[in-house]
């Protein structure tokens, strides 16, 4: 019993108040670290999503430029937008459309792999292709994980285009 009383009177070690204060300081530091890391993670995701959207936009621009440059037998809808054309890669009466995942199709076949769309994280929100005086005018809008849209518009001179009757070229 005497040994126990002498240990209780000893001034060595940490008091309960000091231990609670140290735990509080560590908790505040941990909270600050967590906040900083979560902000960095959010920023990283946003920058990565923007970069992937720009890459998708660039890839689609190159793809459509190559595809439309050599289009033949172009047929337009009454509003001047592209209806169908003959494609070197996809054959006669090629129709461009979007599937339910926002991926570009030519005659029902994907023009790019799902990997080009970030394995489902990117998609085409909207596109419009018009034709006038031997030049295709294309407007594209894509989005990424964060939902932030990237857009571009460009023109492609059709090398095989001849103005025909009844809206065909």
What pLDDT digit, counting tens, does each position of 78-114 carry? 998 999 999 999 999 999 999 999 999 999 999 998 8
Q: Give residue 53's pLDDT.
A: 87
CA gap 90, 74 in Å, rounded: 14
Structure confidence by residue, pLDDT tens digits, 16-52:
898 999 999 999 999 999 999 999 999 988 888 888 8
CA gap 99, 110 in Å, rounded: 9
Q: Give residue 148's pLDDT.
A: 79
With contact defined as beta carbons under 8 Å apart, do 152 and 88 qualify? no
Which residue range(s) make up the domain with 150? 53-157
Look at residue 43 and tell me if it is in a domain.
no
Look at residue 13 and tell me if it is in a domain.
no
The SS3 assignment for 58 reads helix
Total domains in the chain come to 1
Q: Which of 8-17, 63-72, 110-119 has the highest mean pLDDT?
A: 63-72
Give the pair of three-digit tokens for residue 111: 């023009």
Q: How many H-runs (helices) and E-runs (strands) does the chain carry?
A: 2, 9
Look at residue 109 and tell me if it is in a domain.
yes
């Amino acid at each position: 019993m005497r040994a126990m009383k002498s240990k209780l009177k000893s001034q060595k070690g940490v008091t309960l108040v000091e231990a609670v204060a140290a735990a509080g300081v560590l908790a505040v530091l941990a909270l600050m670290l967590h906040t900083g890391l979560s902000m960095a993670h959010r920023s990283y995701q946003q920058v990565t999503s923007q970069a992937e959207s720009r890459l998708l936009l660039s890839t689609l621009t190159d793809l459509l430029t190559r595809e439309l440059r050599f289009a033949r037998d172009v047929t337009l809808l009454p509003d001047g937008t592209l209806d169908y054309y003959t494609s070197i890669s996809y054959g006669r009466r090629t129709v461009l459309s979007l599937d339910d995942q926002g991926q570009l199709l030519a005659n029902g076949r994907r023009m790019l792999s799902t990997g080009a769309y970030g394995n489902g994280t990117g998609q085409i929100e909207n596109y419009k292709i018009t034709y006038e005086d031997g030049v295709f005018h294309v407007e594209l809008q894509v989005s990424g994980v964060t939902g932030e849209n990237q857009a571009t518009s460009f023109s492609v001179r059709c090398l095989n285009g001849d103005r025909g009757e009844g809206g065909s070229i």
